[in-house]
Amino acid sequence: MTLVMLMFASCQNNKTSQQFTVKMNIKNLKQDAKVIMQKREQGKWIKKDSIILKNGQGEFKGHVDGPALYYFTMKKFNAYLPVWVENSNITVDGDLKNLRHPIIKGSKSQTAFDAYADSTKKFTDKERLLGVKYSQARMKKDDKAMKDLEDQYNQIEKDRTDYMLGYVKRHNKSVVSPYIIMSNSYGLTLEQLEAATKSIDTSLNSNQNVKYLKKRVATLKRVAVGQPYVNFTLNDVNGKPLSLSSVVKTHKYTLVDFWASWCMPCRAENPNVVKAYNEFKDKGFTVFGVSFDKDHNKWVDAIKKDGLVWSQVSDLKFWSSAAGKLYGVQSIPHNVLIGPNGKIIAENLRGDALTSKLKTLLK
Protein backbone atom coordinates (compact mmCIF):
# COMPACT_ATOMS: atom_id res chain seq x y z
CA MET A 1 0.00 0.00 0.00
CA THR A 2 2.86 2.36 0.82
CA LEU A 3 4.41 1.63 -2.58
CA VAL A 4 1.10 2.34 -4.35
CA MET A 5 0.71 5.63 -2.46
CA LEU A 6 4.24 6.70 -3.38
CA MET A 7 3.57 5.88 -7.03
CA PHE A 8 0.32 7.85 -6.91
CA ALA A 9 2.07 10.82 -5.30
CA SER A 10 4.75 10.68 -7.96
CA CYS A 11 2.14 10.77 -10.72
CA GLN A 12 0.37 13.64 -9.07
CA ASN A 13 3.57 15.63 -8.70
CA ASN A 14 4.48 15.02 -12.35
CA LYS A 15 1.03 16.21 -13.44
CA THR A 16 1.39 19.37 -11.40
CA SER A 17 4.75 20.08 -12.98
CA GLN A 18 3.12 19.85 -16.39
CA GLN A 19 0.68 22.69 -15.70
CA PHE A 20 0.94 26.38 -16.38
CA THR A 21 -0.50 29.37 -14.61
CA VAL A 22 -0.63 32.83 -16.08
CA LYS A 23 -1.48 35.44 -13.46
CA MET A 24 -2.52 38.74 -15.00
CA ASN A 25 -2.48 42.12 -13.31
CA ILE A 26 -3.53 45.04 -15.49
CA LYS A 27 -3.37 48.45 -13.84
CA ASN A 28 -6.04 51.09 -14.53
CA LEU A 29 -8.55 48.43 -15.56
CA LYS A 30 -11.49 49.34 -13.33
CA GLN A 31 -14.23 47.31 -15.02
CA ASP A 32 -14.65 43.59 -15.64
CA ALA A 33 -13.02 42.53 -18.89
CA LYS A 34 -13.01 39.24 -20.79
CA VAL A 35 -9.60 37.97 -21.88
CA ILE A 36 -9.24 35.28 -24.55
CA MET A 37 -6.13 33.12 -24.63
CA GLN A 38 -5.50 32.07 -28.24
CA LYS A 39 -2.72 31.32 -30.69
CA ARG A 40 -2.23 31.57 -34.43
CA GLU A 41 -1.86 28.23 -36.20
CA GLN A 42 -1.93 27.58 -39.95
CA GLY A 43 -3.56 30.93 -40.58
CA LYS A 44 -6.34 30.38 -38.03
CA TRP A 45 -6.96 31.54 -34.48
CA ILE A 46 -7.08 28.63 -32.02
CA LYS A 47 -8.79 29.47 -28.73
CA LYS A 48 -7.29 27.88 -25.61
CA ASP A 49 -9.29 29.48 -22.78
CA SER A 50 -10.93 32.67 -21.54
CA ILE A 51 -11.43 34.34 -18.16
CA ILE A 52 -12.94 37.52 -16.74
CA LEU A 53 -10.50 39.98 -15.17
CA LYS A 54 -11.90 41.62 -12.06
CA ASN A 55 -10.18 44.79 -10.91
CA GLY A 56 -7.59 43.99 -13.56
CA GLN A 57 -6.69 40.62 -12.05
CA GLY A 58 -7.23 37.04 -13.13
CA GLU A 59 -5.52 33.71 -13.66
CA PHE A 60 -5.32 31.17 -16.46
CA LYS A 61 -4.51 27.53 -15.67
CA GLY A 62 -3.93 24.55 -17.91
CA HIS A 63 -1.43 22.50 -19.86
CA VAL A 64 0.50 23.14 -23.08
CA ASP A 65 2.34 20.45 -25.05
CA GLY A 66 5.31 22.76 -25.45
CA PRO A 67 6.29 26.43 -25.24
CA ALA A 68 4.27 28.51 -27.70
CA LEU A 69 3.35 32.13 -28.32
CA TYR A 70 -0.18 32.93 -27.16
CA TYR A 71 -2.11 36.17 -27.51
CA PHE A 72 -4.14 37.32 -24.51
CA THR A 73 -6.80 39.40 -26.23
CA MET A 74 -9.16 41.96 -24.71
CA LYS A 75 -11.53 42.69 -27.59
CA LYS A 76 -13.40 45.25 -25.52
CA PHE A 77 -10.31 47.46 -25.58
CA ASN A 78 -8.97 46.28 -28.95
CA ALA A 79 -5.81 45.18 -27.14
CA TYR A 80 -3.71 42.07 -26.87
CA LEU A 81 -0.64 40.83 -25.00
CA PRO A 82 1.67 38.31 -26.71
CA VAL A 83 3.12 35.90 -24.14
CA TRP A 84 5.31 32.82 -24.53
CA VAL A 85 3.46 30.23 -22.47
CA GLU A 86 5.09 27.10 -21.09
CA ASN A 87 4.27 24.80 -18.18
CA SER A 88 5.48 27.10 -15.40
CA ASN A 89 4.20 29.89 -13.16
CA ILE A 90 4.02 33.04 -15.28
CA THR A 91 3.07 36.56 -14.25
CA VAL A 92 2.00 39.32 -16.60
CA ASP A 93 1.96 42.87 -15.25
CA GLY A 94 0.73 45.60 -17.56
CA ASP A 95 -1.00 48.94 -17.70
CA LEU A 96 -4.16 49.52 -19.70
CA LYS A 97 -2.77 52.90 -20.70
CA ASN A 98 0.29 51.28 -22.27
CA LEU A 99 -0.05 47.57 -22.99
CA ARG A 100 2.84 47.58 -25.45
CA HIS A 101 5.41 47.06 -22.68
CA PRO A 102 4.16 44.49 -20.13
CA ILE A 103 6.49 42.88 -17.59
CA ILE A 104 6.43 39.11 -18.09
CA LYS A 105 8.20 36.76 -15.67
CA GLY A 106 8.38 33.00 -15.18
CA SER A 107 8.71 31.94 -18.83
CA LYS A 108 12.17 30.93 -20.06
CA SER A 109 10.98 31.16 -23.66
CA GLN A 110 9.73 34.71 -23.07
CA THR A 111 13.08 35.67 -21.56
CA ALA A 112 14.90 34.26 -24.60
CA PHE A 113 12.59 36.05 -27.03
CA ASP A 114 12.94 39.37 -25.17
CA ALA A 115 16.72 39.01 -25.20
CA TYR A 116 16.69 38.48 -28.96
CA ALA A 117 14.38 41.46 -29.49
CA ASP A 118 16.66 43.67 -27.39
CA SER A 119 19.70 42.55 -29.37
CA THR A 120 18.09 43.66 -32.66
CA LYS A 121 17.14 47.15 -31.49
CA LYS A 122 20.45 48.46 -32.81
CA PHE A 123 19.24 47.76 -36.35
CA THR A 124 15.86 49.39 -35.74
CA ASP A 125 17.49 52.49 -34.24
CA LYS A 126 19.78 52.88 -37.27
CA GLU A 127 16.84 52.50 -39.67
CA ARG A 128 14.80 55.07 -37.74
CA LEU A 129 17.64 57.58 -38.04
CA LEU A 130 17.97 56.87 -41.76
CA GLY A 131 14.23 57.40 -42.15
CA VAL A 132 14.51 60.92 -40.73
CA LYS A 133 17.43 61.71 -43.02
CA TYR A 134 15.62 60.26 -46.01
CA SER A 135 12.57 62.47 -45.38
CA GLN A 136 14.82 65.51 -45.24
CA ALA A 137 16.60 64.54 -48.48
CA ARG A 138 13.28 63.96 -50.23
CA MET A 139 12.03 67.40 -49.21
CA LYS A 140 15.19 68.88 -50.70
CA LYS A 141 14.81 66.64 -53.78
CA ASP A 142 18.37 65.47 -53.24
CA ASP A 143 18.39 62.31 -55.38
CA LYS A 144 22.03 61.52 -54.66
CA ALA A 145 21.50 61.62 -50.90
CA MET A 146 18.34 59.54 -51.22
CA LYS A 147 20.16 56.88 -53.22
CA ASP A 148 22.98 56.79 -50.67
CA LEU A 149 20.51 56.42 -47.80
CA GLU A 150 18.69 53.63 -49.63
CA ASP A 151 21.99 51.77 -50.03
CA GLN A 152 22.68 52.22 -46.31
CA TYR A 153 19.22 50.91 -45.45
CA ASN A 154 19.71 47.83 -47.64
CA GLN A 155 23.03 47.14 -45.93
CA ILE A 156 21.38 47.36 -42.50
CA GLU A 157 18.71 44.91 -43.64
CA LYS A 158 21.42 42.53 -44.83
CA ASP A 159 23.23 42.86 -41.50
CA ARG A 160 19.97 42.22 -39.64
CA THR A 161 19.33 39.07 -41.68
CA ASP A 162 22.87 37.79 -41.17
CA TYR A 163 22.55 38.39 -37.43
CA MET A 164 19.20 36.59 -37.30
CA LEU A 165 20.49 33.55 -39.19
CA GLY A 166 23.54 33.43 -36.91
CA TYR A 167 21.35 33.65 -33.82
CA VAL A 168 19.18 30.76 -34.96
CA LYS A 169 22.22 28.61 -35.68
CA ARG A 170 23.65 29.35 -32.22
CA HIS A 171 20.30 28.73 -30.48
CA ASN A 172 19.04 25.85 -32.60
CA LYS A 173 17.39 24.05 -29.66
CA SER A 174 15.27 27.03 -28.59
CA VAL A 175 11.60 27.12 -29.63
CA VAL A 176 12.06 30.83 -30.19
CA SER A 177 14.37 30.23 -33.18
CA PRO A 178 11.85 28.61 -35.57
CA TYR A 179 9.35 31.32 -34.65
CA ILE A 180 11.87 34.03 -35.56
CA ILE A 181 12.61 32.38 -38.91
CA MET A 182 8.92 31.84 -39.62
CA SER A 183 8.11 35.48 -38.86
CA ASN A 184 10.83 36.70 -41.23
CA SER A 185 10.62 34.02 -43.91
CA TYR A 186 9.11 36.42 -46.47
CA GLY A 187 12.43 38.29 -46.66
CA LEU A 188 14.68 35.24 -47.01
CA THR A 189 15.94 33.53 -50.13
CA LEU A 190 15.13 29.86 -50.57
CA GLU A 191 18.76 29.00 -49.82
CA GLN A 192 18.72 31.00 -46.57
CA LEU A 193 15.37 29.57 -45.50
CA GLU A 194 16.40 25.99 -46.20
CA ALA A 195 19.74 26.37 -44.39
CA ALA A 196 18.07 27.96 -41.35
CA THR A 197 15.41 25.25 -41.23
CA LYS A 198 17.99 22.47 -41.47
CA SER A 199 20.00 24.04 -38.65
CA ILE A 200 17.14 23.60 -36.16
CA ASP A 201 17.71 20.68 -33.80
CA THR A 202 15.70 17.51 -34.41
CA SER A 203 14.29 17.74 -30.87
CA LEU A 204 11.96 20.43 -32.26
CA ASN A 205 10.59 18.34 -35.14
CA SER A 206 7.08 18.31 -33.60
CA ASN A 207 7.04 22.10 -33.21
CA GLN A 208 4.33 23.72 -35.35
CA ASN A 209 6.66 26.43 -36.65
CA VAL A 210 9.25 23.84 -37.69
CA LYS A 211 6.56 21.90 -39.54
CA TYR A 212 5.50 25.10 -41.27
CA LEU A 213 9.07 25.93 -42.29
CA LYS A 214 9.69 22.49 -43.75
CA LYS A 215 6.45 22.69 -45.71
CA ARG A 216 7.31 26.15 -47.00
CA VAL A 217 10.78 25.07 -48.10
CA ALA A 218 9.20 22.17 -50.03
CA THR A 219 6.71 24.55 -51.68
CA LEU A 220 9.36 27.06 -52.72
CA LYS A 221 11.62 24.32 -54.09
CA ARG A 222 8.72 23.03 -56.19
CA VAL A 223 8.24 26.46 -57.84
CA ALA A 224 11.87 27.61 -57.91
CA VAL A 225 13.59 28.90 -61.05
CA GLY A 226 14.36 25.89 -63.25
CA GLN A 227 11.33 23.88 -62.12
CA PRO A 228 8.25 23.13 -64.28
CA TYR A 229 5.39 25.51 -63.54
CA VAL A 230 2.52 24.27 -61.37
CA ASN A 231 -0.85 24.46 -63.11
CA PHE A 232 -4.04 25.72 -61.45
CA THR A 233 -7.53 26.76 -62.47
CA LEU A 234 -9.51 29.70 -61.06
CA ASN A 235 -12.50 31.68 -62.24
CA ASP A 236 -12.06 34.72 -64.47
CA VAL A 237 -13.92 38.02 -64.00
CA ASN A 238 -17.03 36.45 -65.58
CA GLY A 239 -17.02 33.47 -63.25
CA LYS A 240 -15.73 31.03 -65.88
CA PRO A 241 -12.90 28.58 -65.03
CA LEU A 242 -9.60 29.42 -66.70
CA SER A 243 -6.45 27.36 -66.32
CA LEU A 244 -2.91 28.65 -66.41
CA SER A 245 -1.95 25.82 -68.77
CA SER A 246 -4.45 27.01 -71.40
CA VAL A 247 -2.57 30.32 -71.59
CA VAL A 248 0.98 28.95 -71.28
CA LYS A 249 0.58 26.50 -74.16
CA THR A 250 -0.40 29.28 -76.58
CA HIS A 251 2.46 31.68 -75.74
CA LYS A 252 6.26 31.59 -75.66
CA TYR A 253 6.52 33.44 -72.37
CA THR A 254 3.87 33.92 -69.68
CA LEU A 255 4.21 36.16 -66.64
CA VAL A 256 2.09 34.92 -63.73
CA ASP A 257 1.40 38.17 -61.89
CA PHE A 258 0.11 38.00 -58.31
CA TRP A 259 -1.49 41.30 -57.26
CA ALA A 260 -4.61 42.91 -55.69
CA SER A 261 -6.65 46.08 -56.11
CA TRP A 262 -6.00 47.05 -52.46
CA CYS A 263 -2.22 46.62 -52.79
CA MET A 264 -0.67 50.03 -53.49
CA PRO A 265 2.78 48.66 -54.45
CA CYS A 266 0.98 46.38 -56.93
CA ARG A 267 -0.92 49.27 -58.45
CA ALA A 268 2.32 51.25 -58.70
CA GLU A 269 3.95 48.32 -60.51
CA ASN A 270 1.06 47.76 -62.96
CA PRO A 271 2.23 50.47 -65.44
CA ASN A 272 5.52 48.59 -65.83
CA VAL A 273 3.66 45.36 -66.59
CA VAL A 274 1.38 47.17 -69.06
CA LYS A 275 4.44 48.65 -70.79
CA ALA A 276 6.08 45.24 -71.15
CA TYR A 277 2.85 43.65 -72.36
CA ASN A 278 2.29 46.26 -75.07
CA GLU A 279 5.90 46.03 -76.25
CA PHE A 280 6.10 42.24 -76.49
CA LYS A 281 2.53 40.94 -76.88
CA ASP A 282 3.03 40.41 -80.62
CA LYS A 283 6.22 38.44 -80.02
CA GLY A 284 4.70 35.65 -77.95
CA PHE A 285 4.52 37.27 -74.49
CA THR A 286 1.45 37.53 -72.27
CA VAL A 287 0.44 38.02 -68.65
CA PHE A 288 -1.79 35.85 -66.45
CA GLY A 289 -3.07 37.94 -63.55
CA VAL A 290 -3.93 36.33 -60.21
CA SER A 291 -5.73 38.62 -57.77
CA PHE A 292 -5.73 38.38 -53.98
CA ASP A 293 -8.91 40.43 -53.82
CA LYS A 294 -12.02 39.76 -51.75
CA ASP A 295 -14.40 42.16 -53.48
CA HIS A 296 -15.26 41.31 -57.09
CA ASN A 297 -16.31 44.84 -58.00
CA LYS A 298 -13.14 46.45 -56.66
CA TRP A 299 -11.09 43.85 -58.52
CA VAL A 300 -12.82 44.58 -61.81
CA ASP A 301 -12.64 48.36 -61.31
CA ALA A 302 -8.86 48.15 -60.73
CA ILE A 303 -8.45 46.06 -63.90
CA LYS A 304 -10.22 48.75 -65.92
CA LYS A 305 -8.48 51.71 -64.30
CA ASP A 306 -5.01 50.21 -64.72
CA GLY A 307 -5.63 48.93 -68.26
CA LEU A 308 -4.91 45.28 -67.52
CA VAL A 309 -6.24 43.74 -70.72
CA TRP A 310 -4.80 40.25 -70.27
CA SER A 311 -6.38 37.21 -68.60
CA GLN A 312 -7.34 37.68 -64.95
CA VAL A 313 -8.43 35.08 -62.38
CA SER A 314 -9.22 34.98 -58.67
CA ASP A 315 -11.01 32.89 -56.07
CA LEU A 316 -11.58 36.09 -54.04
CA LYS A 317 -10.04 34.51 -50.94
CA PHE A 318 -7.56 37.26 -50.05
CA TRP A 319 -4.35 35.73 -48.60
CA SER A 320 -5.97 32.28 -48.69
CA SER A 321 -5.77 32.27 -52.49
CA ALA A 322 -5.32 28.68 -53.66
CA ALA A 323 -2.91 29.75 -56.39
CA GLY A 324 -0.96 31.88 -53.93
CA LYS A 325 -0.48 28.88 -51.65
CA LEU A 326 0.70 26.71 -54.54
CA TYR A 327 3.41 29.24 -55.32
CA GLY A 328 4.25 30.09 -51.70
CA VAL A 329 3.32 33.76 -52.12
CA GLN A 330 3.65 35.71 -48.86
CA SER A 331 3.88 39.22 -50.25
CA ILE A 332 2.64 41.00 -53.36
CA PRO A 333 3.38 42.11 -55.99
CA HIS A 334 5.00 38.81 -56.90
CA ASN A 335 5.53 37.23 -60.29
CA VAL A 336 7.09 34.26 -62.06
CA LEU A 337 8.07 34.08 -65.73
CA ILE A 338 7.37 30.80 -67.55
CA GLY A 339 9.37 29.92 -70.66
CA PRO A 340 8.60 27.96 -73.86
CA ASN A 341 9.54 24.63 -72.25
CA GLY A 342 7.08 25.15 -69.42
CA LYS A 343 9.76 25.87 -66.85
CA ILE A 344 10.06 28.87 -64.54
CA ILE A 345 12.94 30.99 -65.80
CA ALA A 346 12.72 34.07 -63.52
CA GLU A 347 10.79 35.55 -60.61
CA ASN A 348 10.01 38.94 -59.13
CA LEU A 349 10.91 40.97 -62.20
CA ARG A 350 10.07 44.52 -61.13
CA GLY A 351 10.30 47.86 -62.89
CA ASP A 352 12.58 47.85 -65.93
CA ALA A 353 13.84 44.36 -65.06
CA LEU A 354 10.85 42.75 -66.79
CA THR A 355 11.33 44.70 -70.02
CA SER A 356 15.09 44.08 -69.98
CA LYS A 357 14.58 40.34 -69.52
CA LEU A 358 12.09 40.13 -72.36
CA LYS A 359 14.36 42.11 -74.67
CA THR A 360 17.05 39.49 -74.10
CA LEU A 361 14.65 36.60 -74.62
CA LEU A 362 12.71 37.99 -77.58
CA LYS A 363 15.42 39.51 -79.76
Instruction: Encode pLDDT of 261-282 as tens digits.
Output: 999 999 999 999 999 999 999 9
DSSP state of 96: T
Q: Are strands 311-313 and 285-291 parallel, antiparallel or unpaired?
A: parallel
Do the beta carbons of residue 258 and residue 329 sit within 8 Å? yes
Handedness of CA 66, 67, 68, 74 (dihedral sign): positive
Do the beta carbons of residue 158 and residue 185 sit within 8 Å? no
Residue 10 has a pLDDT of 41
Residue type, 109: S
For residues 287 and 335, give the distance between their C-alpha atoms in angstroms, rounded to a whole number.
10
CA 178 from chain centre, in angstroms, equals 13
User: What is the chain's alpha carbon radius of gyration, rounded to the nearest angstrom?
Assistant: 25
15 — pLDDT class (breaks 50, 70, 90): very low
- Does position 360 have pLDDT exceeding 80, yes or no? yes
Residue type, 187: G
- Does position 147 have pLDDT exceeding 50, yes or no? yes
Give the CA dihedral 185, 191, 197, 200, nearest 10 degrees. -120
- Does position 337 have pLDDT exceeding 60, yes or no? yes
In this prediction the pTM is 0.82
For residues 261 and 101, give the distance between their C-alpha atoms in angstroms, rounded to a whole number.
36
CA 196 from chain centre, in angstroms, equals 16
Q: Which domains does the chain have, with CATH numbers?
A: 18-106 (2.60.40), 117-222 (no CATH), 233-361 (3.40.30.10)
Strand intervals (E) in 44-182? 44-53, 57-62, 68-74, 79-85, 89-95, 98-105
Show the CA angle centred on residue 274, arms to residues 269 and 277, nearest 5°: 130
Handedness of CA 125, 128, 134, 139 (dihedral sign): negative
pLDDT in tens, 160-175: 999 999 999 999 999 9
